Structures are given as C-alpha cells and as structure tokens.
Amino acid sequence: MRKSLFFILLLSMIGLTNGAQAQIAVMDTSIVQYLERPETGGKVKVVQPAQLAKRVSRAEGVIKYDGNKGYAQSSGFRIQVFSDNDYRTAKNNALYKEGLIQQAFPELETYVTFTSPFWRLRVGDFRSYEEAGNALIQLKKEFPQMAREMRVVRDKIHIQIHQGFTE
C-alpha cells in the first residue's frame, strides 16, 4: 500500500513539473527563446538573421507595414471562390470568375494566385471569420452556380493604411 501511494505521489509530481515546463514554453514566442532560457538546463546561444527569427516566431496578429504599397499585411480571412489544377483551363476560369465578381461587388478586392499546381481565386480582406461569413452569404446568393466551391479560408490580408502613415 505504501509503495503504491509513493508511486502515485511520484507520478503526480512529475506531471506537475511537466505542466510547468509546458507553460514556460508557451510564454516564449519562439523555440530559440525557449532554448536560451536558463531553466532549460544549459546555455545556448543562437545566432540567426532577423528574418529567420520572424519566421520561427509564434506571435499571432502581427501587422507588417509596407508604406510603399499603401497597405499593411496581417492574418485574416478571405473567401475562396475557385481552385483548380487543370493547366489548360484553370487560369482562364479564375480570371473569368474574377471579372464576374468584380462587376457584381466592386468594393471587394479579388486575388488570382498560382501556387503550383493550383490556380485560386480569393475574394476580400476580412479581419474576422464572421465578417467573411456574411460576405460569403452574399456571394452565394449572387452566384448560386459557384456556391459549392465557395468557402472561408485563412490567409494573409491587406489592410488599407493612411497615406501619411510612418512607422
């Protein structure tokens, strides 16, 4: 009985220790910061370019400003209207559907992209899923023949910034 009680106490202490370590890791914004912490048991010095540090960061909602283009880039949502990998017709179909949507909804930005092997048409720059969902309903009403393909997707969005903006 004593051995089993001791074993249970030992397991619970190990569980608490692992839980504390997991919380510490979540507080760090990247694996590099976690490795550089003195609590991890060793001394680690990581030398890396700033661009790489941004890529391995866990930070969400970071807005990247590009004053030259007149917009900021952030995580958000778009509506995917079309996606196809038929190399003969996909590009033309995407451009055709883009024209239809621009005529019906001139206020929505459209983005035709090629990420091998897919041509995609995405619409809008929405900060929230709900905002994108409301626009999706309007698009499906206007274009019921394309409704089966339409869905809300996560994407990098463009946020208009004021002309006089400086960092």
Chain segment 132-156, per-residue pLDDT in tens? 999 999 999 999 999 999 999 999 9
How many Å separate Cα 78 from the centre of its chain? 11
Residue 152, pLDDT score: 96
DSSP class of residue 22 equals H
Beta bridge mates, 105: none
Residue 148, pLDDT score: 95
Chain segment 37-94, per-residue pLDDT in tens? 766 666 667 777 777 766 666 555 455 555 556 677 889 999 999 999 998 999 999 9
User: Is the pLDDT reported for residue 6 higher than 70?
Assistant: no
Chain segment 28-52, per-residue pLDDT in tens? 556 666 666 766 666 667 777 777 7
Nearest to 153 by CA among 83, 94, 84, 55: 83
Nearest to 110 by CA among 71, 81, 136, 153: 81
Q: What's this model's pTM, rounded to 2 decimal places?
A: 0.58
Rounded CA separation 54/52 (Å): 5
Phi/psi at 115 (5° precision): -125, 105
